[in-house]
Structure 1
Amino acid sequence: MGSSHPLRTGRAMRTVVGVFGQLAALAGMEHGLGEILQGPVAPEGVVIRSWPGHEAFEIVGGEPAMTLIPNLLVSGVLTVVVSTVLAVWAVTGVQRRHGSLVLVGISLLLLAVGGGFGPPLLGVILGIGASGPGVPPRKPGANTRVMARIWPWALGAGVTGYLGLVPGTLALHAVWGSPPDALVYGLIAMAFSGVLLALAGARARYRLDAWPAPARAPRRRSGTLH
């Protein structure tokens, strides 16, 4: 297996990028919906808030974003469209040649049209993490084997952190009021550390799977004397 198609067949990497890619896309769509509801009005500047004046979103600063589109309704529609493309590509395209580079490009486009800061950042991290070397020049060591075992746990922790932020903090706000800042920051740290560890673990898993298995010596058939 050569290095011209890095991580093309890595099941762990495809899973990590696919799952977190859906979360990034859904978060981008949520930004887009907030912008659509504001109607065909011009933003006050490049930096906007997707959900201004909504008490439930105050814990996350009204969902800040940026847009180069001079109309919030159009910005919101484009954000939903680009988020949908991101969701599809994270599942079907990342294993293709230059697929990770395309994922980075889609994420940067999402940033420009109003998809917030967190979702595009997550998409860029996934794109960078999904690109890498092919078969390592040396046999993977103990550290690689340890990392290869943790990716499912890191994936679970990252997903828990992201869902804890949205819609978790919104649900907490509706039931008990604004959650403490320490909880919000803890969920943010859990989310991003989870995705970084999951990517590292998936790369380690690929290195193990891609390393050539040792050749087996041919078995000798036992003969009988006649």
Structure 2
Amino acid sequence: MGTAANAEPGGSRQQVPPGAATRTVVAVFGVLAALAGIEHGVGEIRQGSVPPPGWVIRSWPEQEAFEVLGGEPALTVIPDLLVSGVATVVVSTALGVWAITGVHRRHGGLVLIGLSLLLLAAGGGFGPPLLGIVLGLGAAWPAVPSQRFGATRRALAPMWPWALGAGVVGYLGLVPGTLVMHAVWRSPSPAGVYGLMVLAFGGVILALPAARARDRLEGGRGVVYAQSDSGHRSRSTR
């Protein structure tokens, strides 16, 4: 009854936690961001307990396989690369775990954004924190069930698993894909790398709104069923 009332025109609109589709998108891409952050951390740990050359570092300097990725640049505010690498691995792991287990909690999206900012400051590169921030914003955006199923939402909702798959292919194509391409062809095409970046971020940017559209449609159908059942019970008691 309360859910139905919240969906009525002119009534209050109750926010709901991210639905199953949105949680799946956040979990999958959150794990990918965590793994990419860990890869940055391992590169920094390998450099040992030395001061960074500046605020902007390369996680894998002088590694030919990573040259096409610019040596994996990163930002760090920690004055020791070994400590920076360990902190990056720890924060990355926390981000991945939270993306799976905590994003549906109260302020779950904001916590994900906070962990992403910590990852940026620790040395987790630029791509993984940016991805985490995008996921956190998508999870934190107020969601309400809707009974108005517009054509745009109906068209967008079925796209979420395809966009999710495209984004996963793009990210895995970057790492470890570029390393495999280097082993096979020695010099991966920069154009191909840029194409994988577009596929990766394009996938997540499309998957999030598509997943939210799917969740709102499912939530709206639940409201309709609740209202129909409530009306049937009301008539049967007269």
- 2:58 matches 1:46: no
- Corresponding residue of 2:109: 100
Within-5 A mapping of 1:30-69: 30-69=39-78
Q: Distance in 2 between matches of 1:4 and 1:18?
A: 24
From 191, 195, 201, the equivalent of 1:186 is 195
- 2:224 matches 1:213: yes
Q: Distance in 1 between matches of 2:149 and 2:170?
A: 30
- 2:105 matches 1:88: no
Q: Which moved more, 1:126-135 or 1:52-61?
A: 126-135
More helix by share: 2
Q: Distance in 2 between matches of 1:187 and 1:154?
A: 14
1:138, distance to aligned residue in structure 2 (A): 5.8
From 190, 196, 199, the equivalent of 2:205 is 196
Instruction: Answer yes or no: is the 8 Å Cα contact 2:16–2:145 preserved in 1.
Output: no
- Corresponding residue of 1:164: 173
**1:91-128 C-alpha deviation (Å, 9 max, x unpaired):** 00000000000000000000000000000000000000
1:182, distance to aligned residue in structure 2 (A): 1.1
Q: Distance in 2 between matches of 1:150 and 1:85?
A: 29
3-state SS of 2:224 partner: coil
Unaligned runs of 5+ in 1: 222-226
1:133, distance to aligned residue in structure 2 (A): 2.6
1:146, distance to aligned residue in structure 2 (A): 1.1
- Seen in structure 2, the aligned counterparts of structure 1 residues 16 and 137 have a Cα distance that, compared at 3 Å, is closer
1:166, distance to aligned residue in structure 2 (A): 0.5
From 182, 189, 195, the equivalent of 1:173 is 182
- Corresponding residue of 1:149: 158
Q: CA RMSD in A?
A: 1.8
- Corresponding residue of 2:84: 75
Instruction: Answer yes or no: is the 8 Å Cα contact 1:6–1:132 preserved in 2.
Output: no
Q: Distance in 2 between matches of 1:102 and 1:37?
A: 29
Q: Distance in 2 between matches of 1:77 and 1:134?
A: 36
- Corresponding residue of 2:140: 131
Q: Which moved more, 1:139-148 or 1:10-19?
A: 139-148
- Corresponding residue of 1:224: none
From 17, 31, 39, the equivalent of 1:7 is 17
Q: Distance in 2 between matches of 1:94 and 1:42?
A: 35
Q: Distance in 2 between matches of 1:159 and 1:190?
A: 9
Give the length in aligned residue pairs. Answer: 220
3-state SS of 1:213 partner: helix
